[in-house]
Amino acid sequence: MCAAERRPAIDAALVRRLVDAQFPRWRGLPVRPVEHDGWDNRTFRLGDDLSVRLPSAEGYREQVAKEQRWLPRLAPHLPTAIPQRVAQGEPGEGYPFAWSVYRWLPGTPVVLAGDVSRDAALAEAVGAFLVALRSAPTAGAPEPGTHNFFRGAPPAVYEEEALTAFDLLGPDAGRARALWEEATASRWEADPVWFHGDVAPGNLLLDASGALSAVIDFGTCGVGDPACDLVPAWTLFEGDARDAFVAVAGLDDATWSRARGWALWKAAITLRDRPADAEARATLARLLGR
């Protein structure tokens, strides 16, 4: 969604200059890239105990202040570790955005951990995390908007883009449109609840035993409809693990239908941009029941 934006050059040398200029007490700590980095934000380790997280484009700028404000308030309500703020940096050294320093969270991202698609214990843990997140206090919390690309709104916010992308799916286009009609036929009628917004394999960390140890990257979090957080039912889990995730995560059939719409939109636009993307094709197959 920010692919066309001009992105500042972000590397370890820039992080070194920013840290040295704004936090001289950490001048002696080495800066190194992480094994798995994100697209919305770039992350670097700072010594052994800290990490630096920098928005990669203007579209992600708003997320810094949001995370700095809300992550400390969410943490006491959650069963799993989340990023712990240490400091906020300011624009400088040619870099135009605010940025964050967090405690380093050890663990292996699911995306690097091999096939976990049938790990029912992990599915239950992810579901339990989302249930706890939905129960956190919401007073004053951020509603859907540009800060999170309207996660928490009805999936129809992306209808024009979705329908255009469905046209490129060939024989699957009709089935995709039918599922989209179901997804956009309902709305979240209850009070807004907290959601993460990007429950993706790169944002789930595992400890040495393979158990969920942390959930990271709350850039798309907010309060509203939690349907967007249910997409792992198609993007990550299969078989008994999927059943476990669905059972623990709960919520009604209409919410799951909207969740299917979010997953369908993302798979379709990914295939629009990268037709050979194997993960998107696998997700689409699960969504379409084939």
Q: What angle do CA 214, 256, 114 make, to 5 degrees?
A: 40
180 is written with which tokens?
Answer: 């989209």
Reported pTM: 0.94
Is the pLDDT at 86 greater than 90? The verdict is: yes
Q: What are phi and psi of 126, to 5 degrees?
A: -65, -45
E strands within the chain? 31-33, 41-46, 50-55, 85-89, 99-103, 108-109, 193-195, 204-206, 212-215, 222-224
CB 44 within 8 A of CB 32: yes
Contact 122, 109 (CB under 8 A): no
d(CA 85, CA 73): 11
- The residue among 118, 74, 109, 66 whose CA lies nearest residue 214 is 109
Tell me the mean pLDDT in the region 4-18. Answer: 86
- Is 37 a residue whose pLDDT tops 80? no
**Residue 6 pLDDT more than 90?**
no
Residue whose pair of structure tokens reads 């024009």 in the numeric block: 160
At 2 the pLDDT is: 43
What are the φ/ψ torsions at residue 7 (nearest 5 degrees)? -110, 130
Q: For residues 234 and 185, what is the distance between their CA atoms, to the nearest angstrom?
A: 20
Kindly list the strands in the beta sheet with 85-89, ordered across the sheet, starting from the edge strand earlier in the chain. 31-33, 41-46, 50-55, 99-103, 85-89
Instruction: Tell me the C-alpha distance between 72 and 54, whole Å.
Output: 19
**What digits encode the pLDDT tens for the residues 216-233?**
999 999 999 999 999 999
203 DSSP 8-state letter? G
Q: Which residue has better confidence, 206 or 2?
A: 206
pLDDT digits (tens, 9 = 90+) for 242-289: 999 999 999 999 999 999 999 999 999 999 999 999 999 999 999 998
How high is the pLDDT of residue 5?
59
- In angstroms, the Cα distances linking 253 to 16, 244, 288 are 49, 16, 17
Residue whose structure tokens are 């992600």: 60
Contacts of 73 (CB under 8 A, 6+ apart): 136, 137
What would the two tokens of residue 114 be? 């091999």
pLDDT in tens, 141-165: 999 999 999 999 999 999 999 999 9
